[in-house]
Every structure is written in C-alpha cells, then in structure tokens.
Amino acid sequence: MAAFGTVFMPQMAISRFDGSTWSQAEMVASDSIQLHPGAHVLHYSSTCFEGLKAFKQPDGSIKLFRMDRNIARFAQSSELLSLPAIDKSATAKMITDSVAMYAGDVPEPPGSMYIRPTHFGIDPAIGKAAAPSLTSLQYILLSPVGEYFTSDAGTLRLLLDETGMRCAPHNGMIKSGGNYASALRPIMQARDKYQADQVLFCPNGFAQETGAANFLLIDDGEIITKALDESFLHGVTRDSILTLAADMGLTVSEREISVDELLERAAKPGCEAALSGTAAVLAPVGTFIHNDREHKVGGGTEGPVTKQLRQAMNDIQWGLAEDKHNWLFDV
C-alpha cells in the first residue's frame, strides 16, 4: 500500500487570479505547475491549503464531508495571509467537478478521496518581503487514500513541550505550510530523543495543539480541549467530534488545561486522550512524556469513548448513520 497522500489523480482543477479577476477553472495535468523562480510563495511563504474528504456511500453515490467549513477556513486563511480573496462558490465548483470526474476512483470505506485545495501568491517580485502578492494561483489536488488509523496501530506517544510553540501565535488559525515547517524540528528532535510520535505544544504550561492535529482529553464524562483563539488551528474534525460528543451526552469543555492537570487526569484508569484531524479522525494517545518521564494515559491503550466517537463520525461519513447535522454534500 502506498504511503498516505502519495498517489494522485492525473488531472487537477486550476485557476489564476491576475490582479483583478479569477480565470475560468480548467483541468490540467497534476504532475507539475510552472512558476517563476521569483514567485512570492517561494520567498515569502504566501501559501495556504485545506484538507477534506469525499466518501463512497452504500448506494454508490459520492458525498463530500463538511466542504462548506473547509472552504470558509480556506477563505479565512487567504485573507489572513493577505492573498487575493478566493471566490468561495467557484472553489466549491472546482472541488465538486474534480471529484465528479474521478468518482469511479473514490475507494470503498474505510478508504476515501482526500482533497487538497491549495492557494499561493505568484507575483514575480523578490522585493516584496513586506508586501502581499497581488496575483495568485489556486488548484485542487486529489489523492485516493486508505485507512489512516487502524485499531491494531497502537497508541501515540506525545512529548509535552512547555518551552516552544507550533508557530507564531497570530498565525495559528491559518492553515499554512509555514506553520507545519516551524513545528518540524522539535518533532524530529522528540522522535530522536524520546521516540515520540508528536509534540504537544504547551506554551506557558497549557496544552494547545500538536504539530499537525488538535488535542482532546476525555475523562469522567467530559471532553476537554482548548477554547478557540487565533493561536491554533480551528479544526473541522475537532468541531465535528465535539458536536458528536455533545450528542452522546458528554460534557464539552472548551477551556485551558494545564500540564499539571493533564498529568493528574492521565494517571486515572478511565482517562483517554486523542488527536483529531482529517486524516485519522481520532488517533488515541497512550503516553505523555514530560521532564524525561513517561506517564501512561489511563491504561495506555485506546479507550472506549475515543473508539465510539471515531466510529460515530465514520458512520456518518460512510452513509451508515443519519446525517443529522447536514454535513454531507452531493457531488
């Protein structure tokens, strides 16, 4: 099986903004794009992207999951990076047309078609370090993927880092490649030194997010995660899981949670922790690493609530449960 996100459909939808209008979207080969070496994105990282999925339903139709929320965040990221404003309806059409073109390639569940809208500045100007790109390019890349997390994959190990941050606080809610790049060195160091899978950044001693996912703690009928602010990514999966948790009768608490509280709760037998994101939905955390000591979370294995929440979301995505929240969009 190819690694997640390494297989692509042969064509992609693309559109350009010339400084005044967006071009009509067209389908082009997905294996290359032409850029001027002085393109703004290559020097000043004026880029953002999204990640969403299309799922095959029992009747053979294809549904997109929460496309409206992803497009809204895509537009917000573009605005916060001072990129040209996207046309949300045009972007939605690029996505649906692309998926419709490759509907026959959408894998059966638990697989899906991963969709990566991407937007970046293309002004050929290396003197614009303090000025935005007035022209840009947008494309929709499709990648058929299998199941990201399986029940036999074990649990994740998280290093609790109180000294650093994933990215600049005012950029946290932007889904931009630069934020992932800034987290990469501490993640690699944590893998080298502690065999950690990810770093949970805890600036000022309070849990925020990992390098690539939102963090949730589940304990005693309560699901706890940091309240939304501009310092971290507002995950669509996070929002979906919290909605489903409330449906299941869990108390949803969006608040600060300190490292001390994390470790205290983790020591309890029924405690669970998980990372939420488009790829894995919910991936269980079994170990916290803090000050060179390992702390098991609950029993160190995936807990029943994490499993139940992931299954509830999968069932909606796969058309096996009622879509009470109108999250699915037709292709």
Peptide bond into 304 cis (omega under 30): no
- What are the φ and ψ backbone dihedral angles of 165, each rounded to 5 degrees? -135, 155
Cα distance between residue 99 and residue 113, in whole Å = 8
Q: What is the pLDDT of residue 29?
A: 98
Q: How far is CA 272 from CA 1, 196, 259, 283, 285, in A?
A: 30, 18, 15, 11, 7
Cα distance between residue 169 and residue 266, in whole Å = 27
Q: Tell me the two tokens of residue 114.
A: 């991963």
Q: What is the pLDDT of residue 152?
A: 66
pLDDT in tens, 120-145: 999 999 999 999 999 999 999 999 99
- Find the helix packing angle between 67-80 and 236-247, rounded to 10°: 140
DSSP structure string for 115-159: EEEEEEE--B-TT-TTS--S-EEEEEEEEEE--S--TTS--EEEE
pLDDT in tens, 274-305: 999 999 899 999 999 999 999 999 999 999 99
Q: Which domains does the chain have, with CATH numbers?
A: 11-145 (3.30.470.10), 156-317 (3.20.10.10)
Cα distance between residue 317 and residue 278, in whole Å = 12
Under the banding of pLDDT at 50, 70 and 90, the label for residue 24 is: very high
Q: What is the pLDDT of residue 245?
A: 98
Name the percent of the chain lying above pLDDT 70.
98
Mean pLDDT of 205-233: 97
Closest by CA position to 35, among listed 49, 21, 27, 46: 46
The rounded radius of gyration (Å) of the Cα atoms in the chain is: 20
pLDDT in tens, 141-197: 999 999 876 666 789 999 999 999 999 999 999 999 999 999 999 999 999 999 999
- Average pLDDT in the chain: 96
- Higher pLDDT, residue 53 or 4: 53
Under the banding of pLDDT at 50, 70 and 90, the label for residue 326 is: very high
Q: What is the pLDDT of residue 316?
A: 98
Query: Distance from CA of residue 191 to its chain's centroid?
Result: 21
The separation between the first and the last C-alpha atoms of the chain, rounded to the nearest angstrom, is 27
Cα distance between residue 49 and residue 177, in whole Å = 8
Residues linked to residue 272 through DSSP beta bridges, in sequence order: 218
Cα distance between residue 123 and residue 101, in whole Å = 31
Q: What is the pLDDT of residue 148?
A: 78
Cα distance between residue 133 and residue 120, in whole Å = 9
Q: What is the pLDDT of residue 151?
A: 62
Mean pLDDT of 238-252: 98
Q: What is the pLDDT of residue 275?
A: 97
Q: Exposed, middle or buried: residue 122 (CB in 10 Å: 0-12, 13-18, 19+)?
A: buried
Q: What is the pLDDT of residue 2?
A: 83
Cα distance between residue 190 and residue 184, in whole Å = 10
Helix (H, G, I), strand (E, B) or coil at 284: strand
Q: Tell me the two tokens of residue 223.
A: 């699901």
